[in-house]
Chain A
Amino acid sequence: MAKSLFEEKLNSGKFIVTTEVGPQKGTDTSEMVHQINLLKDKVDAINITDHQSSVMRFPSLGGCLLVAELCGEPILQMTTRDRNRLALQADLLFAYSRGIKNVLCLTGDSIEVGDHKEAKSVFDLDSVQLIRMIRTMESGKDIAGGCLKGNVEFCIGATAHPSADFIEPQLIKFDKKVESGAQFIQTQGIFDLDALSRFMQYAHQFNVKILAGIILLASDRMATYMNNNVPGITVPPNIIEELACVEKDKGLKKGIEIAVRLIKTIKEENLCHGVHIMAVGREKLVPEILEEAGIMT
């Protein structure tokens, strides 16, 4: 039996679509609720980010509870940046007890890129160790060997970086994630489909579902900013040029066009198992992107 609805969909052979919602800074969840309601029936699962870019926000776990309450399928993003192994295990126990059964295991961006630069980084575990820790918990034991009362079972995901400029060390890390128990991969933002194809040639040998990361760009300026400031994202010059060529207020329209084109090509050419759309604050446009890409979930 599948561990979660999302795992069932991963195994169904259909083209998978996930997206993500970034919680607000503060307790007013109305915008997040609105976004979840807008997206929950259009995608196979919704990631809730975990202090993305190391900026303190409402927690991923809280956002996932909202998704579950609103009858959506949540993916708990969990970084090792802010919590040690005790806190991570405790949060996983709580998540499972409340019906959250998908988890995306991440190391997390550096504290340096965020808004609490004076904070202490934790990184007690890395993403590979986090995956293994969850698999250990599934065997009924915590990672200190203590018995767990009540079982846990998670559908585990991780990330990969097919466009990295030093790809070999990234592939070694990818191997370790899959060997440790990752069932699905949501990649970093992809713009170069040749890089995705090369990655897939390698990844096909593993039993893991690959969802290509699609970032919605709104302007050439945003792309350049991301290149300079956002870890793991590299927008290639041809895409920046494409965005720069349009009139000033048409950047977002072009960004949507690029995202739609990437998704359509990935699906039509069967490049990988699905997509993960990162709309970076423009989540309300995700249904439009999916519609234009001809995707019905």
Chain B
Amino acid sequence: MIVAEQKSMEEIYRICSPYEKILILGCGTCVTVCDAGGEKEVSIIHSVLDAAQARTGDKPHIFSEYTVKRQCDIEFLEALKDKAGEIDAILSLGCGIGVQSLAEVFPDIPILPGVNTAFMGASREWGVWDERCVACGDCRLVDTGGICPITRCAKGILNGPCAGAKGGKCEANKEMDCAWVLIYQHLVHLGHLERMRQYYPPRNFHTILRPRRLIIKTEINPGGK
């Protein structure tokens, strides 16, 4: 899933300040799970922004709130079309994809990002998320014991460890395990160490020319048969 982190309230307040009527829009999928931009966070931010302007005495902003199932799916944004005439800006608590989908559907409304999209990852324990995939477009996890060196090695190298790890921890971040030590241990466990002994040629970055577009290859036949 996509993991995001809420921007500071100072930044959120600052980017909202030019606008009067602001819709705080949550997203019911990834950012809900990682507690960055779901219905609950929408409500909290709404309260904090209300309180912030109450302290100043004047009330230049009118905040409203709503949460859609997925901001990245244009069909779920249809429900907002009725509200579009009443708002000056949308504070999106969706990921960067949600923000851009909104910008496409509502070209006349400024979309303000309320979270920093961090990475694609998994929950390690409650409140802790670890990056697991960089969407390189050329998955080699079969050869690395299900542990991605492109994501989890700070250098993203393919032919084994650098010499920098100490005590199994990465030279770039001592909190993180050396991916190549993990890969080695898991391949030993699986009895597939020969995969680590293979030479892996340089990555083909042509597969990830940005921006990418994926067109489904299976035939679509809505009528059946």
Interface flags, A138-163, vs B, CB<8A=1, else 0: 00000100000000000000011100
Residues of A within 8 A of B163 (CB): 159-161, 164, 170, 188, 231-232
Contact A113/B202 with A129-B159, A166-B181, A173-B159 known, Cβ cut-off 8 Å: no
Whether B160 lies near A169 (C-beta < 8 A) is yes
- A124 to B158 Cα, complex, angstroms: 10
In the assembled complex, how far is the CB of residue A175 from the closest CB belonging to chain B, in whole angstroms? 7
Instruction: Tally the A-B contacts, defined by beta carbons under 8 Å.
Output: 103
Interface flags, A150-194, vs B, CB<8A=1, else 0: 000000000111001110111011011001100000001000000
In the assembled complex, how far is the CB of residue B178 from the closest CB belonging to chain A, in whole angstroms? 8
Instruction: Give B75-125 interface residues, CB cut-off 8 Å to A.
Output: none
Interface size on B, residues (CB 8 A): 33
Instruction: Give A67-124 interface residues, CB cut-off 8 Å to B.
Output: 81, 85, 107-113, 121, 123-124
Interface flags, B139-174, vs A, CB<8A=1, else 0: 000000000000000111111111111111011110
Whether B199 lies near A234 (C-beta < 8 A) is no
Residues of A within 8 A of B155 (CB): 81, 107-108, 110, 121, 123, 126
Q: Does B201 make an interface contact (CB < 8 A)?
A: yes
- A232 to B168 Cα, complex, angstroms: 12
Chain B residue at minimum C-beta to C-beta distance from A133? B202
The contact of A126 among B159, B178, B181, B205, by CB within 8 Å, is: B159
Residues of B within 8 A of A168 (CB): 184
Whether A128 lies near B199 (C-beta < 8 A) is yes
Q: Is the interface of B mostly helix, strand, loop or mixed?
A: loop
Instruction: Give B197-217 interface residues, CB cut-off 8 Å to A.
Output: 197, 199-203, 205
- A30 to B197 Cα, complex, angstroms: 45
Chain B residue at minimum C-beta to C-beta distance from A159? B163
Q: Does A125 make an interface contact (CB < 8 A)?
A: yes
Q: Does B196 make an interface contact (CB < 8 A)?
A: yes
Residues of A within 8 A of B197 (CB): 172, 175-176
Q: Does B180 make an interface contact (CB < 8 A)?
A: yes
Contact A129/B202 with A112-B154, A166-B181, A231-B163 known, Cβ cut-off 8 Å: yes
Residues of A within 8 A of B160 (CB): 128, 169-170, 172-173, 176
Chain A residue at minimum C-beta to C-beta distance from B203? A124
Q: Does A132 make an interface contact (CB < 8 A)?
A: yes
Residues of A within 8 A of B178 (CB): 166
The contact of B158 among A126, A160, A164, by CB within 8 Å, is: A126
Whether A110 lies near B199 (C-beta < 8 A) is no
Interface residues on A, range: 35 or more
- A167 to B47 Cα, complex, angstroms: 55
- A173 to B196 Cα, complex, angstroms: 9
- A128 to B161 Cα, complex, angstroms: 11
Residues of B within 8 A of A121 (CB): 154-155
- A188 to B163 Cα, complex, angstroms: 8
In the assembled complex, how far is the CB of residue A23 from the closest CB belonging to chain B, in whole angstroms? 22
Whether B180 lies near A169 (C-beta < 8 A) is yes
In the assembled complex, how far is the CB of residue B184 from the closest CB belonging to chain A, in whole angstroms? 4
Residues of B within 8 A of A180 (CB): 199
Contact A166/B199 with A109-B171, A128-B159 known, Cβ cut-off 8 Å: no
- A176 to B200 Cα, complex, angstroms: 10
Contact A165/B166 with A172-B160, A173-B160 known, Cβ cut-off 8 Å: yes
The contact of B196 among A113, A126, A164, A169, by CB within 8 Å, is: A169
- A285 to B37 Cα, complex, angstroms: 60
Chain A residue at minimum C-beta to C-beta distance from B159? A128
Instruction: Give A175-232 interface residues, CB cut-off 8 Å to B.
Output: 175-176, 179-180, 188, 227, 231-232
- Most chain A CB neighbours (cut-off 10 Å) among B162, B196, B205: B162
Contact A166/B159 with A112-B171, A172-B197 known, Cβ cut-off 8 Å: no
The contact of B161 among A113, A143, A169, by CB within 8 Å, is: A169
In the assembled complex, how far is the CB of residue B151 from the closest CB belonging to chain A, in whole angstroms? 13
Please name 23 pairs of A and B residues whose Cβ atoms are closer than 8 Å in the assembled complex, sorted by A. A81-B155, A107-B155, A110-B164, A112-B171, A112-B172, A123-B156, A126-B158, A127-B159, A128-B159, A129-B201, A132-B199, A133-B202, A165-B168, A166-B161, A166-B168, A166-B178, A166-B184, A172-B160, A172-B197, A176-B199, A231-B162, A231-B165, A232-B164
> Which 7 pairs from chain A and chain B are nearest by CB?
A231-B164, A173-B160, A126-B157, A231-B171, A110-B172, A232-B163, A161-B163
